[in-house]
A = this chain, B = another copy of it.
Amino acid sequence: MGVIDFTKAPVKTGSIYPKPYDAEMAGRWSIRLGEAGGLTQFGVNVVVLEPGAKSSLRHWHLNEDEFVMITQGTCTLVDDDGRHEMSVGACAAFPAGEENGHHFLNETDEEVRFLVVGTKAATEVATYADIDLKVEMKDGTATFSRKDGTPYEGDEQ
């Protein structure tokens, strides 16, 4: 490998979230640069947020470090410290296991893009800060449950 050809990078749309939370992810998609470049030890994606879109439910990772750099537009990071406006070049870090639920919102009228890097751990648990939900990722399968481990059987719309 060497220079990454963006036109050949896989594009990921949609959401792994169960209903009704999947609908919240409209207007978000990602370009899988690390996969296009043959990388396997960490993931590298450019996340695209159309106006009004969000990056994810507010969450924190148990096992995986995460790094973000804004590459286009202005977006709002929401984490346990509050709201933070971030413009091109601004960066954020979320160390594995630090219980700081975070996500990025595009509250502008222009497209936002950011680079996100995350370790690829063998198993991972993401916990959602604002609702009673967590997910375990293992062997490519996502299993959602309540925070006490009981199965998730759906929330009201």
Contact = CB atoms under 8 A, between A and B. Distances in A.
Given A34-B67, A37-B67, A117-B67, A92 B42 contact: no
Nearest to A71: B89
Contact of A84 (B3, B77, B86, B95): B3
Contacts of A79: 2
A72 B77 CA distance: 23
Contacts of A100: 1-2
Q: How many copies of the polypeptide does the oligomer hold? A: 2
Contacts of A89: 71
Contacts of A6: 91
A42 B40 contact: no
A40 to B, nearest CB: 7
Classify chain A's interface size. Answer: 35 or more
A102 B4 CA distance: 14
A80 B86 CA distance: 37
B95 A38 contact: yes
Given A2-B81, A39-B65, 13 more contacts: A1-B98, A2-B92, A3-B77, A33-B93, A37-B91, A37-B92, A38-B98, A39-B67, A39-B93, A42-B42, A42-B65, A44-B67, A67-B117
Interface of A: 1-4, 6, 33-34, 36-42, 44, 64-65, 67, 69, 71, 77, 79-81, 84, 86, 89-96, 98, 100, 102, 115, 117, 119
